[in-house]
Structures are given as C-alpha cells and as structure tokens.
Amino acid sequence: MDLAHSGGVVPMKLRDLGCDYAGLLSYKWMMAPYAAGALWARQEKLHDIEVTYAGGRSEKWLDFATGTYELPDTAQRFQYGPWSWPLVHAWATSVDWLSGIGTQAIWERVCLLTDRLKTGLAAIDGAELYTPRASAASAALVSFGLRGWKGVELAAALRQGWNIVIKPLPHSREGLRTSLPFYLLESEVDLLLAALHTLKAR
C-alpha cells in the first residue's frame, strides 16, 4: 500500500488497514528531507516476496569465504545498502514534532481546510472538483479544474496575480492539485477561492 500521502496526515494502525506491505516517505506530510523511506511488511508475508538484490544490512549473517548468507525474518531483509544517518535523525525529529501535535489534531485540521476549499469550489460556476467530496478519500489533497482554463495557465495566473503557488495536474485532466497542510491558514484558502472567482469572471 502506498502511504505517501497518508503518513503524517491520516491516523492509522497499519495492521488495521489489512495490507501486507506499506511504504512511507520521509518528505511530503512527514515533514522531513527527501531521499528516505520505510517499508512495513506483515510478518507472515515476508517470504512471499523474493529478495532480488541483497546488500549491506540485509543479511542476518554473511560468510565471505564461502559466499553463504542468511536473511533475517524481518523486513530488514529488504534493506539494500547503508543508511544516511543525517536523514534518519531528521526524520526522527519530524516524527517527534508531529507526534507532539497529535495525529488526530492534524487530521481534524486538514479535514477542516479541505472541506472549506471543496465547499468554496462548489460555489464557483465552472469549477469542477476532481477529488472525492469525503475527507477520508482525499487526505490533504484537493484537485479541481476551472472551465476555460488549462492547468498550466491557471497556475501561472494565480502565481502572477496573487503569489499563490499550486502545481498543475501532471496527468490527464486539466486543473490544479492543491496541498493543504495542517498549518495553512483559513485566510489562505479564502484567498485562493477569491482569486478563482476573479479569474472565472475574466
């Protein structure tokens, strides 16, 4: 299961998700630097995936003389190569910070912000919400389009006129993908909605 946009936002217990494997990123909602990740594997499913490339730290023991080794019965068997300790410590610091705020508080705040944006978009003629209306199905992302505007053009107009930076959708639909972290202000959501009203009027 891909938890890139869930970790750090949605309160969860991995075993309750019913997945066998889950991947996390250090950045995005985990608020740490790029280039680190974590893999969670259900203990009873460890042997269902063959280890294609074993590296330093993935072995339980290794005999260089005979070329024999044994993999541990943990997710450590999937690790390949050494760690970047500065990244590990930076991520641990961000996890401590997020834990201090509380996952439930973060989730409630994100739901408030995304609902505010979705409700506001519904009041704009020509705005189309691509993200599901339910908070549980969208996490901290809201994607939408505005009739008559290509995503790249809309992003450029928002940046030039209001200093609002939002990524155009990278795939099939025309529009924008907004990220609403818990520390965003309600007034910033309102500024985006006001800007969209103005651009639609053009």
Instruction: Report the phi/psi class of residue 57: left, alpha or beta, with left for phi > 0 and alpha for psi in -120 to 50.
Output: left
The second-level CATH assignment, the architecture, of 103-201 is: Alpha-Beta Complex (3.90)
- pLDDT band for position 52 (cuts 50, 70, 90): confident
For 117, phi and psi rounded to 5 degrees? -70, -45
- pLDDT band for position 15 (cuts 50, 70, 90): confident
Please tell me the pTM assigned to this model: 0.85
**pLDDT at 56 exceeding the cut of 90:** no
For 20, phi and psi rounded to 5 degrees? -95, -30
Q: pLDDT tens-digit profile of 128-163?
A: 999 999 988 888 999 999 999 999 999 999 999 999
Q: What is the DSSP string of the chain?
A: -B-TTTTTTS---GGGGT-SEEEEESSGGG-S-SS-EEEEE-GGGGGGS--SS--TTS-SEEETTTTEEE--SSGGGG--S---HHHHHHHHHHHHHHHHH-HHHHHHHHHHHHHHHHHHHHTSTTEEE-S-SSGGGTTTEEEEEETT--HHHHHHHHHHHH----EEPSSSS-SEEEE--TT--HHHHHHHHHHHHHHHH-
**Domain boundary assignment for the chain:** 14-101, 103-201
Q: pLDDT tens-digit profile of 163-200?
A: 999 999 977 789 999 999 999 999 999 999 999 999 99
Only one residue has tokens 């019913």, namely 18
Over residues 64-87, mean pLDDT: 86
Q: What is the mean pLDDT of the chain?
A: 91
